Amino acid sequence: MVFEHLGYSVYQVLQQNSYSGFSAEIIQNLSIQVLYAMIFLKSEGIIHSDLKPENIVFNLDANSDIVKLVDFSSACFEGGKLYYLLLFTL
């Protein structure tokens, strides 16, 4: 299997910048891209099930603010069986 090399996740960038946040322009750009990704997933009948900042990853190009959704390990099709990872602490 071959995968493209991606950059940092949104969470990692926030963490590196002491959680200072993003500019309104970057937030708008990221939001639009994530919404387009969700619209595409909806059109294919796919539920991501784990959408969070750690699973939104920037393109490796440092000058790029293009993001991609990753980690479809808990994804399923609409109407399909959804699996949850249950963690118990003793």
> For residue 76, what is the enclosing H or E element?
strand 76-77
User: How many helices and strands in the chain, by DSSP H and E?
Assistant: 2, 5
* CA gap 23, 66 in Å, rounded: 15
The residue from 50, 61, 65, 71 that is catalytic is 50
50 catalytic, yes or no? yes
| Catalytic machinery residues | 50
